[in-house]
Structure 1
Amino acid sequence: MLRVLSRPFRPLRPALAAAALLAWAGPALADLQLYMFDRPGCPYCLQWEREVGPAYPNTAEGRAAPLVHLDIRDPLPPDLTVASQPQFTPTFVLAEDGVELSRITGYPGEAFFWGLLGQMIAEATAVEEGATE
């Protein structure tokens, strides 16, 4: 019975794990940023802004990796190094100290976004924990 009740929450597990790690690691993640490459009129960007944007800064993920909007057509900021120039909008690049760690290309919906971002932050946290041990 308990197993059946937990199935609807399965997509949230990575985000919940990331939230627990963020609560524990807190200040260690202060150098993370989430860069959102978008463009005016992008329907998936607008969908993200409606579904996720208002809540993002108030979440554990938003506190760990504050959001920076960048127009995909503009040159990269000099303090940001990415593995490759984003080609599609939206593209979310998780960076530490201005260096790309991972990315999400596109917006597959709110549940997938939170799950993928939670995994990315958890992996960044695991790397940092391994470096400090």
Structure 2
Amino acid sequence: MSEPSVRAAYSDKWQLRFAFFDQHGAPNSASYKVAFKALSSGDRLKVQMNFIAFFFWPIYYLVLGLWKSMLSLLGVALLINLVLVMLDAPESISRGLGFGFSALAGMSANYLYYQQEIKGYKGWNPFRGLF
């Protein structure tokens, strides 16, 4: 766990997220789910979704140093897109999946960054602790 003085270097929003994850664990834990429901709607959005990652996830993941997770997520997205192209699926399906991958990236960025910065995890799994 990092020192409180090190955490002071992070914005209030990141400190809120880190404290919540410290206290309640991963998003797939029972403690997290109960505590998450007790948060105000604004704090729920801060903890659960990262809108910068939603709109610009490959770049934002690189900026945060989450390059392994970015490559994994991008690889899965490209592979699924390739299969859809080979199956001659409608473009609307491809766009829908792109939106879905953006949503997954936005929802996983906060916990991945917490794992990297506080717990020291620098793995390839972009969904670790989410499901």
Note whether the superposition's TM-score is higher than 0.5: no
Larger strand percent = 1
TM-score (norm 2): 0.29
Quick check: which one's helix share is greater? 2
